[in-house]
Amino acid sequence: MHGTRLLVVLALGAGLTMSGALAQAPEGAGLQLRVAPELAAVTPPAPKVIPLEVTINGARAGNWALLENEGVLYAPADAFDEWRLNRDPRIAPFAYRGQPWYPLSSLPGFSANFNPAEQALQLNFSSAAFATTHVGQAQEHLAVTAPLTSAFLNYDVNFQRSDQRGVAALNDLGALTELGLSGRYGVLTNTGVARNLSDEPNSPYAPSYVRLETTFTRDYPEMNASLRLGDSSTRTGAWGRNVYFGGVQWGRNFALSPGFITQPIPTIGGQSLAPSTVELYINDALRQTSQVPTGPFTIENLPQITGSGQARIVVRDILGRETVLTQDFFSHAALLRRGLADWSVEAGAVRRNLGLQSADYGERFASGLLRYGVTNDLTVETRAEYGEDTRGAGAGVSATLPLQLLGTVAFAGSHDDSVGRGAEWLAELEHWSLRHGFTVRTEHATREYRQIGQDPDQLAYRRQWLASYTYAMPDLGHLGVGYAKIDTYDRGTLLSYNANYSVRVTANATLTFSATHVGGDTRANSIGFSLIVPLDGRTTASAAMTHRSGQSDGYASVNKGLGIESGTGWRALTGHRAGENYGEGGFYYQGDRGLVTADASFSDQQQTMRLGAQGGVVLVDGEVFASRKVQDSFALVEVPGYPNVGVGFQSSVLTRTNAEGKALVPRLQAYRSNSIRLDPSELPISAELDTIELSVVPPNRSAVRVAFPVRAGRGALMRIVLDDGAPAPAGAEVALEGDSKEFFVARRGEAFVTGLKEKNRLRLTWQGRHCDFDVELPPGSPDEIPRESPYVCSGVSR
């Protein structure tokens, strides 16, 4: 422990005064008082409170009153808290004037340097003296914006005409629709498909409308849970299967807390000797930059990472000193953090013939899934289902193994009224790192094994073997190989080998080779390549060729994709397929109210034309808006009095305000902070808004109001003179009666005042005096800025 000595001089009749410097003393010396030998018998001075400007490890800590007593420097408890110093609770405080004071010399690495000319004190401590700083992504629930009651209709209409040689032309008109109602209680949606609306006699479908899904969803963000009534699908663990059903489902929904990471993430940390910038690199890619104060720090809740790798921390302090730390890590999405539970329960009836019939429900059942993180390296799960004909249950374990491996094992049993008892078990081993990764999985089931929703005539696979391996070579490309073998009880054996290799051939172009061999009861081979070349903007060119069963197919294409804003896209393709020449082309236009498409394809035997339109219609707050498809949350933006102003995210413009200054902005992210921004270049010069950007946190698929505060009225440049004709003094305050906004006079007595109506009363104030005068604006548009002739201000002098 380093101490200090306080150098003092005894002035006759003046007592002790600080006139020296606080200098570092030898280890363990403490803060000692050095006086002249001839004055050794003098009585020690009383404690003294000294106001000082404090700097800690090079960072300004503000002005503090510290206590000096017998050469020892003390600080109050709140200073330790604000400076983030770990005060030793075993050290008894020194009481002075009813307040406890604690010695700074009790902390590791303490040293001090006093500057009497500036009454400044520089303190230094080792990093071990400071509390740990926790750096990470916030996971708190954001305050959700109150939703508006709204209704929306999404449509996707498609017309297709096919002309095939020797066959009558076939016309088909169909549509996908979604009707939704959202508000404070949740979201109700209904989807459906309409077929053969043109009543084409040659169509395989009769004119009909089939309901797809009807679901009411209510989210509980504070519980990370959602309730679903109606059509849904079951959640599965390692061994289950998804089943469409109609009924009720209640379960965890971590998506309600964006940024919440369920898997265990390694804690990575280090120490800084001074305020520093910390850069975190995951597998050589910069993932996070943070500012940390002096002392130890840990980086928690990193961006979600899966597999093994290396984290590198670069600590760069205010003096330019740089420290590099490295740490290996392993994490996987199949694991849950210690103490975290994921669960779902559902009950209802199995949905059959989805898309073919509107309401075909079969076996009634109930099921539940529970996953729990016992430790950061061990996650257990169990699942059970009980139906009218079939019952089953099982358990599984996922664990971190040596050599940065993840192992999973699961076992399940079933009892079916028709075939009796059955069983299934599986085991899986996988590893992923920056350079390579592999997966090996085996699964076995008895002939009698059944699950809810399984076709009674469909048997489980007897045995499955799956394996894959990938290797990334930074300069030479990526290699991947795979193997699959499936033994069935009634359909023989399927065996498959595949390999692919991708390499960059220019700065942007990628060339991929692939080969596949299918063995077992059915045999086939194929080999091919593809080339993808990104061009300017969103334009991409590609080409591919495949040879299989003695036949070669190939194509070349170029396309331009759509962006987030309004604009056009297109594609063109030509090639050879199944022994025929063929070609395709399309043109697409995306506006703020929807998307229209036109596609055409032709071959030696058939020509097809397709026309489509996608969009949405929204009813909110008593008004109807045409919009793009409403797939996420949306906002009703209000900018009263400002029509045709661009509205969107950041620099993008998604839509424009209507004649009333309102606009509907789609594509908001639920339960996240969304910044809605006006295009400042499209606002008139007279526009007065406190801000052009507001943030909202909407519920899922719901509407929220975003009202920009607008100060109404016109602006005018007016000249104000005093009684003697001299211009009003620069800096004089001008206010509009009934308005709290203040304006100021500039040079030549001119003032620019906004918020004016046709008739106005203004007040000018200068040096405690004021005068009132009336201003009447000539007729004109809000964008016109009149220059008003001089107004006389009586009663104010310069």
pLDDT at residue 716, as a whole number: 86
Q: Which residue has the higher pLDDT, 522 or 405?
A: 405
pLDDT at residue 139, as a whole number: 55
Tokens 């209709």 -> residue: 153
pLDDT at residue 127, as a whole number: 85
Among the listed residues 19, 21, 49, 52, the one whose alpha carbon sits nearest the alpha carbon of residue 119: 52
C-alpha 372/C-alpha 134 separation (Å) is 26
Q: What is the pTM of this model?
A: 0.75
C-alpha 310/C-alpha 312 separation (Å) is 7
Other residues' Cβ atoms within 10 Å of the Cβ of residue 506:
9
pLDDT at residue 304, as a whole number: 62
Q: Which residue has the higher pLDDT, 578 or 112?
A: 112
User: Which long-range contacts link 607-613 to residues 24+ away (Cβ below 8 Å)?
Assistant: 607/162, 607/163, 608/160, 608/161, 608/162, 608/163, 609/160, 609/161, 610/158, 610/159, 610/160, 610/161, 611/158, 611/159, 611/160, 612/156, 612/157, 612/158, 612/159, 613/155, 613/156, 613/157
Three-class DSSP category at 81: helix
Average pLDDT over residues 75-91: 91
The tokens describing 275, both together, are 């305020």
226 beta partners: 219, 251
**Residue 326: alpha-carbon gap to chain centroid:** 27
| pLDDT at residue 423 greater than cutoff 70 | yes
One-letter amino acid at 533 equals: V
Average pLDDT over residues 419-423: 94
The tokens describing 517, both together, are 């061999």
pLDDT at residue 567, as a whole number: 92
Query: Lowest mean pLDDT: which of 47-61, 180-194, 289-303?
Result: 289-303
pLDDT band of residue 33 (cuts 50, 70, 90) is very low
Average pLDDT over residues 413-421: 94
| pLDDT at residue 389 greater than cutoff 80 | yes
| pLDDT at residue 161 greater than cutoff 80 | yes
Average pLDDT over residues 97-103: 91
C-alpha 124/C-alpha 61 separation (Å) is 12
- pLDDT above 90 covers a percentage of the chain that reads 53
User: Do residues 663 and 654 make contact, with C-beta atoms less than 8 angstroms apart?
Assistant: no
pLDDT at residue 303, as a whole number: 62
User: Do residues 502 and 531 make contact, with C-beta atoms less than 8 angstroms apart?
Assistant: no
pLDDT at residue 301, as a whole number: 62
225-233/244-252 β-pairing = antiparallel
| pLDDT at residue 705 greater than cutoff 80 | yes
Average pLDDT over residues 119-146: 82
787-793/714-722 β-pairing = parallel
Q: pLDDT of 600-624, one tens digit each? A: 999 988 899 999 999 999 999 999 9
C-alpha 282/C-alpha 522 separation (Å) is 45
Q: Which residue has the higher pLDDT, 275 or 107?
A: 107
Other residues' Cβ atoms within 10 Å of the Cβ of residue 644:
11
633-638/703-707 β-pairing = parallel
C-alpha 418/C-alpha 54 separation (Å) is 83
Average pLDDT over residues 505-524: 89
Residue 254 has phi, psi (to 5 degrees) of -70, -15
Q: pLDDT of 210-243, one tens digit each? A: 999 999 999 999 999 999 999 999 998 888 889 9
Q: pLDDT of 724-764, one tens digit each? A: 888 999 999 999 887 878 899 998 899 988 888 888 899 99
Domains of the chain: 2-131 (3.10.20.410), 268-331 (2.60.40.3110), 714-793 (2.60.40.2070)
C-alpha dist (Å) from residue 670 to 255, 344, 698, 701:
9, 21, 5, 7
| pLDDT at residue 677 greater than cutoff 50 | yes
**DSSP element (H, E) containing 378:** strand 378-387
Average pLDDT over residues 164-174: 83
User: In degrees to the nearest 10, what's the CA dihedral of 684, 689, 692, 693?
Assistant: -160
Give all strands (DSSP E) within 137-224, no chain letters.
150-164, 167-183, 186-195, 208-220
pLDDT at residue 298, as a whole number: 83
C-alpha 523/C-alpha 495 separation (Å) is 9
User: In degrees to the nearest 10, what's the CA dihedral of 518, 519, 521, 525?
Assistant: 50
Query: Lowest mean pLDDT: which of 297-311, 627-641, 643-657?
Result: 297-311
Q: Which residue has the higher pLDDT, 122 or 135?
A: 122
Question: Counting beta carbons within 10 angstroms of the beta carbon of residue 11, is it exposed (0 to 12), middle (13 to 18) or buried (19 or more)?
Answer: exposed
Query: Lowest mean pLDDT: which of 339-348, 476-485, 770-779?
Result: 770-779
Question: Counting beta carbons within 10 angstroms of the beta carbon of residue 288, is it exposed (0 to 12), middle (13 to 18) or buried (19 or more)?
Answer: middle
Q: pLDDT of 302-358, one tens digit each? A: 666 667 777 888 888 877 788 888 877 778 888 999 999 999 999 999 999 998 999
C-alpha 126/C-alpha 792 separation (Å) is 69
pLDDT band of residue 549 (cuts 50, 70, 90) is confident
User: Do residues 563 and 538 make contact, with C-beta atoms less than 8 angstroms apart?
Assistant: yes
pLDDT band of residue 259 (cuts 50, 70, 90) is confident
Average pLDDT over residues 627-645: 91
The full DSSP string for 698-753 is: --TT-EEEEE--B--SEEEEEEEEETTSPBPPTT-EEEETT---EEE--GGGEEEE
The listed range with the strongest mean pLDDT (37-41, 168-172, 675-679) is: 675-679
CA atoms within 13 A on the CB side of 621: 17
User: Do residues 461 and 447 make contact, with C-beta atoms less than 8 angstroms apart?
Assistant: no
**Residue 497: alpha-carbon gap to chain centroid:** 38
Q: Give the gyration radius of the chain's Cα atoms.
A: 37
The tokens describing 315, both together, are 């600590």
pLDDT at residue 23, as a whole number: 36
Query: Lowest mean pLDDT: which of 83-87, 203-207, 549-553, 602-606?
Result: 203-207
| pLDDT at residue 783 greater than cutoff 80 | no
Average pLDDT over residues 585-609: 93
Average pLDDT over residues 553-561: 95
Q: What is the DSSP letter of 223?
A: G
Report the chain's mean pLDDT, rounded to a whole number.
87
- pLDDT above 70 covers a percentage of the chain that reads 92
